[in-house]
Amino acid sequence: MKNNKGLTLVELLVALAIFAIVIAIIFSSYLSILKPQNQQVSIAENNMNRIVGLEVLRKDIETAGFGLPWEVDTSYSEAASDATSYTPDPSDLNAKDPSEPPAFSFSNNGNTKANDSDVLAIRSTVAALNNVTSHWGYLYENTSTNSEYFIDLGDNGSVDGNSNFIIIDPVYMKFIKYSTFSNLTTYETKGKVYLVFGLSSGNNGTRMPFNRVDYYLKRPNTNFPEVCDSDTYILYRATINQSNGERNSQPILNCVKDFQVVFLCSNGANACLDNAYDERRGLKQVRVFILLQDGKRDPNFEFKKTIYIKDDNVDTGKSFTPTGDEVHYRWKLIELIVNPLNINIRERNLE
């Protein structure tokens, strides 16, 4: 005899309950696997961005002083004042003695601004990353033809004839004049050899006989990354515009807690920055410490360590112990050690 009896309501409910429990267990297991994976993906993405940002910073420090005149006997303007937007004011980092601009200037952000971090200004012709600054070489006279020739040693692509260059006397590294690219070979060298460095496009003009880039921490008023802890900042790289002296800012690293710079000099840390001559004679190495957030917030994680912003040879005197919600983030200290390659000393002619 055929049995047409189906499931009772109780049996159906029991089956649904068992199914729901199984699905919940599977979903819970999936989340437990997915959360660490997402955290690792976030960390990997951050590491890739850091590599790019740190390489730009390293290159700027390494090339500091490239094409920088040691002596300037004409007046010029550097960064424009903008105390309403920045602390310290960008103009506070201008060369103390404009006639002898140093490769580096640095200042403090202030106790209530960006965790008492540092602000770093770097001077060189290649601080502005553009096609013009990739051109540099020397200007000389062919005495047999009485013609001037520019030998382009950089030669990375063509430049417009209105692009701005500077001419420097290589004996004393003295600034001679500005020149457009098309007028370089009209300058009478009278048998001497001069150094030539690309500076800016024709549209930007020539505000100063070098380019400058500033590094600093700041939190923007809008579009601050949601993944960052509320007490972190963005590390910016800002070139100084040759046309108006204002900063052209680009974000380099997100979620940065602190940014500290130490100059190792032959006579002690930060002891050779009073003037450009002492800097060229005594600066050996630049060390940059960057304290930043590593990955997203993890409510199941607690960071219980104290990070000391130092190494075996340098101690900034600062440390960081997470408190409150900060403990749910992973923190990392990155140290960048760079030897500037374009700061050389040549004894002055004292006659």
Model confidence at 44, in pLDDT bands (50, 70, 90)? very low
Q: What is the three-class DSSP state of 22?
A: helix
Query: What is the model's pLDDT at position 36?
Result: 57
pTM (two decimals): 0.85
Q: What is the three-class DSSP state of 233?
A: strand
Query: Whole-angstrom Cα distance, residue 296 to residue 247?
Result: 30
Mean pLDDT within 170-183: 95
Query: Whole-angstrom Cα distance, residue 27 to residue 33?
Result: 10
Query: Whole-angstrom Cα distance, residue 182 to residue 195?
Result: 16
Beta strands 283-293 and 331-338, pairing class: antiparallel
**Span between the terminal Cα atoms of the chain, in Å:** 126
Model confidence at 111, in pLDDT bands (50, 70, 90)? low
Q: Return the number of other C-beta atoms located less than 10 Å from residue 337's C-beta.
A: 14
Taking alpha carbons only, the member of 61, 124, 46, 93 closest to residue 336 is 61
Q: Examine the pLDDT at 37 and tell me if it is beyond 60.
A: no
| 6-20, 183-197, 242-256: range with lowest mean pLDDT | 6-20
Query: Whole-angstrom Cα distance, residue 343 to residue 185?
Result: 28
Is 204:184 a contact under the CB 8 Å cutoff?
no
Model confidence at 169, in pLDDT bands (50, 70, 90)? very high
Chain-centroid distance, C-alpha 130? 16
Give the position of tokens 């047409």.
4
Q: Examine the pLDDT at 253 and tell me if it is beyond 60.
A: yes
Taking alpha carbons only, the member of 57, 4, 23, 133 closest to residue 287 is 57
